[in-house]
Chain A
Amino acid sequence: MEHIKELLYKMADDLLVIGHRNSEWTGLGPILEEDIAFSSMAQDKIGHSQALFQILHQLGEPEPDTNAFMREAKQFHNAQFLELQNDDYDFSTIRHFLFDHADQLRFDNLANSSYEPLAKVARKIKGELKYHVFHADIWLNKLGNGNEESHARMQTALNNAWNYALGMFEKGDYEEQLIADTIFEGEQSLQNRWLAVITPIIEKANLKIPAEKDWEPVLGGRKGYHTENLDQLVNEMSEVFRIEPGVEW
């Protein structure tokens, strides 16, 4: 079961961390409608994360809330990409685009996983993921093809995000076993499909993926190596829960 737990943890942590980061835009979004849409999607991510923590709990891990709020940053398995500060809406939009496509493709593959509890979750959230990706694609296109400033900002954000985004596909120790048991297609295959999907959308938005010779995935997140940003995030996220662990709110 260790291989399944590894997969569940990295996914649950990715979703929890990006869900929290994106929720930081609540009340600050560029316009009211977008604020509501972005906040709502952030909540979806937390919900997806909760579903995965629930499976982990059934496999003998702590309760979802305890697991989410009582661990230290170094016990998190999320990619470093997701813990970075929001910076401005350009970076948040690019991250939303790059992560959500990977997320959708990952769940898409898991919908046919031999591990039924995970396949079930994947099938259930399909519609939400589709909306998230619609949303990301439309914004990318609009801002990439907007005016000179919006285009330049999106390109800069894409350049800054790229190597971190590649770090989402960091392999775990059980990679081969997950593939052999037809639980998950594996990170390499996922990354290839992701590139095939996002490349034409990025081109249509008049943006450029950094040259391949400069690709240097930022790894370590899956193994618990994180930036100081995750300490800040975890402290803020768990602040209330830790006042009185286990209490019913």
Chain B
Amino acid sequence: MINSLDPRIKREQINEDNTIAPLTEMDQFETYEVFHQKKRGDQHVHVGIVHAPNAEMALLFGKEQFGRRGLSVNIWVVKTSNVFASDYDDADIFETVPEKQYREAGGYKVMDKINKYKKENKA
């Protein structure tokens, strides 16, 4: 075994002939969804996922992964397995028939009125 002062090398347990033992199978922790709040009163926004053995540690990791840059005041974590999601096979439920513009904000023509008002109140 190569005995180095450098723990990175020592830890690898490299044989003198330089062969590295194969990796054993690793366990995976479950995942938590991370939600991040920029300031009080704002919505928490989903920012990503962390692996963690429990919620406490998921918070620790979430803070470092997603809250260490920029503003943050709060973080939520939710077990991924506790999230109920729609099926991608049902993605067609979001498709909208075209003749429904009256339901969209763009369907309202108000710029004329706004410009008129601005003009009138300019003086």
Contacts and interface: CB of A to CB of B under 8 A. Distances in A.
Interface string A79-98: 00000011110000000000
Interface stretch (B38-46, B56-64, B85-93, B108-116): B56-64
Given A28-B11, A31-B51, A33-B52, A232 B5 contact: yes
Contacts of A236: 6
B5 A33 contact: no
B82 to A, nearest CB: 19
A134 interface: yes
Given A33-B50, A36-B65, A40-B68, A28 B60 contact: no
B7 A86 contact: yes
A36 B64 contact: yes
A85 B60 contact: no
Given A24-B7, A28-B8, A85-B7, A142 B61 contact: no
For A31, A33, A85, A236, the residue with the greatest tally of chain B CB atoms inside 10 Å of its CB is A33
Given A24-B7, A88-B11, A138 B51 contact: no
Interface residues of A, number: 23
A37 B8 contact: no
A227 to B, nearest CB: 11
Interface in A1-55: 24, 28, 31-34, 36-37, 40
Nearest to A24: B7
B7 A33 contact: no
A24 B8 contact: yes
A229 interface: yes
Nearest to B58: A33
Nearest to A92: B7
B101 interface: no
A135 interface: yes
A132 to B, nearest CB: 11
Given A28-B11, A142-B53, A37 B5 contact: no
B29 interface: yes
Contact of B54 (A32, A87, A88, A142): A142
A139 B59 CA distance: 13
B61 A34 contact: yes
A138 B56 contact: yes
Contacts of B5: 85, 228-229, 232
Contacts of B54: 142
A87 B7 contact: yes
8 closest cross-chain pairs (CB), A and B: A33-B61, A37-B64, A86-B7, A232-B5, A33-B50, A40-B64, A138-B56, A135-B60
13 contacts: A36-B61, A36-B64, A36-B65, A37-B60, A37-B65, A85-B10, A88-B11, A131-B63, A139-B57, A142-B54, A228-B5, A229-B5, A232-B6
Interface of A: 24, 28, 31-34, 36-37, 40, 85-88, 131, 134-135, 138-139, 142, 228-229, 232, 236
